[in-house]
Amino acid sequence: MKKNVLVFCISLFCSLSFAQNNEVILSVGEDNITLDEFNAIFLKNNHNDSTITKEYLDDYMQLYINFRLKVKEAKELKYDTISAFVNELAMYRNQLAKPYLSDNQFDEKLIKEAYDRMQTDVNASHILFTVAEKATPADTLKAYKKAMDVRNKILKGLDFEKAAKSFSDDKSAINNGGSLGYFTVFMMVYPFENAAYNTEIGKISKPVRTKYGYHLIKVNDKRKANGEVKVAHIMFKLAKYASEEAISIGKTKIEEIAAKIKNGEDFSDLAKQFSEDRATAVKGGSIPKFGVGKMVKEFENAAFLLQTIDETSTVFKTPFGWHIVKLLEKKPIPAFEDVKNNLKKKVNQDSRNALRDKALISKIKKEYNFKQYSSRLNEISKYIDESLSEGKWVSEKANSLKRNLFILDKNYYTQADFVAFILANQAVVKNNYQSYFNDLYQAFVSKTCLDYENGRLEEKYPEFKSLLQEYTDGILLFDLMDDKVWTKAIEDTLGLQTFFDNNKENYMWGERAEAKIYTCIDETVAKKTLRQIKKRHRMPYLTDEDVLKKVNYSSPLNLQITGKKYSKQENDNVTQAGWKIGISNNIKGKDGSIIIVDVLELILSQQKDLSETKGKVISDYQDFLEKQWLGRLKEKYEVRVNTHVLHSIIQ
């Protein structure tokens, strides 16, 4: 928690200005801070406030000096070379770099495309021809030709549903003829989604390649998106292979329910009493909101047909039983700005990621004039064999290859660099070895491009450099403060005790009252409780448990007891009792309860024990240690403020 607060606070001091005024406003040791740096920081946090005075500037400068002294000391002590610091900063840098290592225009295009597709639901059927994602070219071509052959048969008159049952490797096609029902954006892998949205109603796509194989997609319908609905339902279950008699009995039951609803009986009450979906029955039949493709099609169709809140459907049957539904809420597609961030997250998690990565690599290649020498890649491929797919390839035969493989921003990457990459990254895969070799090369090129771009972020983006500096100083400052102040104050028990002994006057109890507070549910319980309180005065050995046992025998909610030593104004009930020893009159609680306060003792002001105020003492001791430490730092590093330049900010 301290680290989060610290990083936030030092943002006051770590922004950088890129103007041209280089007058020195502050020197800490040999480090010089320019007016540009300080002015950008100051104006950022004070919004050009015209009421700022010289005194305010001087106070602000003192805070800034303290910050610079601590960072200076951390670097002098080589905190920035400790492995824990280096690793933590690398982690933060990776997080900060992510927005810069993307093609923002391409991302925006994908987000807008996704939103546009949210407006339309697509109903489609498909036929799947399975082929492994990394299959050999020969196997891939074979599957493609089979898909094209079936497509041609359909175009010549073969019914698509029959073709799906005969040829599809999706086994569900035997029962559904390849039908997928309605779906919307993000519900299918991206290449499939693309083809479905770009194919006209009634048309059949050409073979579409996904990680599952090739698909033929027939678009049956497109409709305006329904958004989401929230409904309640009443259901009578049917077994998977229910007899005609059971089906008929279920229908009779649901029709009786429909008649009761029509006659004005409450849907929620009927659901609680009769619905066989007990998980929802207790909630009046209510089920969570859902959108397209989340329910079986019969249920979905009935729910989406409802237009008016509280409208009830006709009875209908699904594979699970007989139903009737009531519309509780209808939520249209939200405005773009309301869902943009959520769409961005989904795009990042979706198979669209591959396209985003390709777009970024393409952008980097173009920016840095990427050029490759394909013939030299072929020279390496001659030494590749099946051992690569087994993760056992060795490079002896390729060790003589030293020529340049590609160039990026006038930097050359050699055949030997790629061979080293293969040796470091090869693994056991099911891929054809030549296909795997090509994948490794693309991975090598992509990594090289990303690493090069990543290494230039500070140079290309001043705001990134500034932000990274903020994190750098923040981590350094936290580690140093933890060593010199925070942890030291907690672990230095002797120093803490000495500090407490020297400052006891700061840790005093004011006047207090030791009291018991009895909260009674009503007047009757209050009378019983009062008798128990008076009995307790006569028999001091009685405990809270004894009183509760007597009063709460009929309900554990009758009486609650709390008690401790209360400072003045700490508790309203104790204050209302009059701050005097004895049993108070009944006090009316805001919730209708009756409160009785029994003040047992009034305690005069007295010294606190360290254990009673340790948290406050530790905090004060930390402040004390920090002031001492800052004093030593000011002696160690000469601090020079150019007051004329500082005050020029408001002149």
What is the rounded CA–CA span in Å between residue 559 and residue 466?
60
What is the rounded CA–CA span in Å between residue 503 and residue 505?
5
Task: Decide which of 16 and 30 is more confident.
Answer: 30
Residues 524 and 551 in one domain: yes
CATH number, domain of 592, equals: 3.10.50
Strand partners, 559: 520
User: pLDDT, tens digit, for every residue of 73-95?
Assistant: 999 999 999 999 999 999 999 99
Domain end, chosen from 197, 224, 251, is at 224
Residues 587 and 620 in one domain: no
Q: For the stretch 512-527, what's the b/e string if a residue is b when 16 or more beta carbons lie within 10 angstroms of its beta carbon?
A: bbbbbbbbbbeeebbe
Distances (CA, A) of 525 to 218, 311, 522: 74, 48, 5
Domain end, chosen from 422, 457, 492, is at 457
Q: What angle in degrees, to the nearest 10, is found between the helix axes of 54-76 and 35-46?
A: 120
Residue 625: Cβ within 10 Å count:
19
Q: What is the pLDDT of residue 351?
A: 83
Is the residue at 18 inside a domain?
A: yes
Residues 232 and 319 in one domain: yes
What is the rounded CA–CA span in Å between residue 361 and residue 21?
38
Q: Read off the tokens for 172.
A: 């569900």
Q: Which of 619, 620, 617 is nearest to 607 (CA)?
A: 617
Is the residue at 341 inside a domain?
A: no
DSSP secondary structure letter of residue 138: H
- Strand ranges of the sheet holding 228-237, from the earlier edge strand across to the other edge: 228-237, 321-331, 316-318
The domain tally of the chain equals 5
What is the rounded CA–CA span in Å between residue 212 and residue 170?
10
Number of H helices, E strands in the chain: 27, 20
Q: Which residue shows structure tokens 């999706």?
A: 170
The H or E element containing residue 217 is strand 213-224
- Please, what sign has the CA dihedral across residues 291, 294, 295, 300? positive
Give, in degrees to the nearest 5, the angle at Cα 241 between 238 and 243. Answer: 75
Q: What is the pLDDT of residue 18?
A: 35
Residues 547 and 433 in one domain: no
Residues 503 and 646 in one domain: yes
User: pLDDT, tens digit, for every residue of 33-46?
Assistant: 888 878 766 776 66
Domain that holds residue 537: 509-607
What is the rounded CA–CA span in Å between residue 70 and residue 515?
49
User: Is pLDDT above 70 for 9?
Assistant: no
User: Is pLDDT above 70 for 231?
Assistant: yes
Amino acid at 428: V
Helix, strand or coil, per DSSP, at residue 475: helix
Confidence tier at 19 by pLDDT (50, 70, 90)? very low
Pair type for strands 587-588 and 594-603:
antiparallel
Helix, strand or coil, per DSSP, at residue 127: strand
Q: What is the pLDDT of residue 507?
A: 95
Residues 253 and 186 in one domain: no
What is the rounded CA–CA span in Å between residue 551 and residue 572?
24
Confidence tier at 556 by pLDDT (50, 70, 90)? confident
Distances (CA, A) of 467 to 6, 35, 95: 14, 19, 11
The H or E element containing residue 486 is none
Is the residue at 189 inside a domain?
A: yes
What is the rounded CA–CA span in Å between residue 647 and residue 316?
80
Q: Read off the tokens for 145.
A: 């030709």
Q: Is 263 left (phi over 0), alpha (psi -120 to 50) or beta?
A: alpha
Average pLDDT, the chain: 90
Domain end, chosen from 205, 224, 243, is at 224
Is the residue at 360 inside a domain?
A: no
Q: What angle in degrees, to the nearest 10, is found between the helix axes of 493-502 and 614-636?
A: 100
Residues 603 and 616 in one domain: no
Residues 138 and 23 in one domain: no
Q: Which of 133, 130, 131 is nearest to 435 (CA)?
A: 133
Query: Going along 228-318, which residue ranges are E strands?
Result: 228-237, 316-318
Q: Quickly list DSSP for 487-556.
A: HHHHH-HHHHHHHHHHTGGGSEE-SEEEEEEEEESSHHHHHHHHHHHHHHHH-TT--HHHHHHHHSSS-T
Is the residue at 487 inside a domain?
A: yes
Pair type for strands 508-509 and 606-607:
antiparallel
Task: Decide which of 628 and 22 is more confident.
Answer: 628
User: pLDDT, tens digit, for every residue of 264-286?
Assistant: 999 999 999 999 998 999 999 99
Highest mean pLDDT, choosing among 28-32, 64-68, 231-235: 231-235
Q: Read off the tokens for 495.
A: 């120093």
Helix, strand or coil, per DSSP, at residue 186: coil
Q: Read off the tokens for 491.
A: 């672990």
Residues 62 and 22 in one domain: yes
Q: Read off the tokens for 413.
A: 């990457």
Pair type for strands 316-318 and 321-331:
antiparallel
Helix, strand or coil, per DSSP, at residue 368: coil
User: pLDDT, tens digit, for every residue of 243-260?
Assistant: 999 999 999 999 999 999
| Overall pTM > 0.75 | no
User: pLDDT, tens digit, for every residue of 129-158?
Assistant: 999 887 888 889 999 999 999 999 999 999
Residues 262 and 405 in one domain: no
With contact defined as beta carbons under 8 Å apart, do 230 and 289 qualify?
yes
Mean pLDDT of 386-395: 93
Residues 53 and 200 in one domain: no
With contact defined as beta carbons under 8 Å apart, do 289 and 331 qualify?
yes
Q: Which of 248, 269, 267 is nearest to 259 (CA)?
A: 267
Is the residue at 22 inside a domain?
A: yes
Is the residue at 558 inside a domain?
A: yes
Is the residue at 291 inside a domain?
A: yes
With contact defined as beta carbons under 8 Å apart, do 17 and 39 qualify?
yes
The dihedrals phi and psi of 127, each to the nearest 5 degrees, come to -125, 125
Residues 260 and 315 in one domain: yes
CA 88 remoteness from chain centre? 20
CATH number, domain of 294, equals: 3.10.50.40
Q: Which of 307, 347, 349, 346 is nearest to 325 (CA)?
A: 307
User: Is pLDDT above 50 for 13?
Assistant: no
Q: What is the pLDDT of residue 157?
A: 95
Q: What is the pLDDT of residue 188?
A: 94
Q: Which of 567, 472, 585, 468 is nearest to 518 (CA)?
A: 585
With contact defined as beta carbons under 8 Å apart, do 68 and 31 qualify?
yes
Q: What is the pLDDT of residue 40?
A: 63
What is the rounded CA–CA span in Å between residue 270 and residue 326?
12
Strand partners, 412: 407
User: pLDDT, tens digit, for every residue of 291-328?
Assistant: 998 899 899 999 999 999 999 999 999 999 999 999 99
